[in-house]
Amino acid sequence: MRRKKVGLRPLREIAAELLSLPCPEGAAALSGLEETARRAAEARGRPLEVYEAALLAQAARALQGDTRAAQFLRDASGEKDAAAEQAPLTAADLALLKKVAARLERQTEE
């Protein structure tokens, strides 16, 4: 079992916080995002973390139109696309479901 490292905040929490920051004018440049994030970190009484800086780079790319970076931020913040999460049923899944249905049908007949 993996242990949580002391002091590290979950990616989901950091991404949600970064995504909720006010977006200053010209924020598509990393420096605009970085300054906003640094002010938020200072308000929390701690420096900007490397983990946060990595998310800032993704946010800057997303603001410049990189859809994969935008999807990463969405997923990291816990807002995953429900349709993308659900994998289609395989032939093995369908065969198992048929067996279960047949077994349930036999039990109800008894």
Write phi, then psi, for 5 (nearest 5 degrees).
-75, 140
Using one digit for the tens of pLDDT, what is the confidence trace for 62-106? 888 899 999 988 888 887 766 555 677 788 888 888 888 888 888
Cα–Cα distance, 41 to 37 (Å, whole number): 6
For residue 20, give the nearest of 37, 42, 6, 38 by alpha carbon: 37
- In a 10 Å sphere around its CB, with 0-12 CB exposed, 13-18 middle and 19+ buried, how is residue 37 labelled? buried
pTM beyond 0.85, yes or no = no
In 3-state terms, what secondary structure has residue 91? helix
For residue 28, give the nearest of 73, 54, 61 by alpha carbon: 61
Mean pLDDT computed over every residue of the chain: 77
For residue 8, pLDDT over 60 is answered with yes
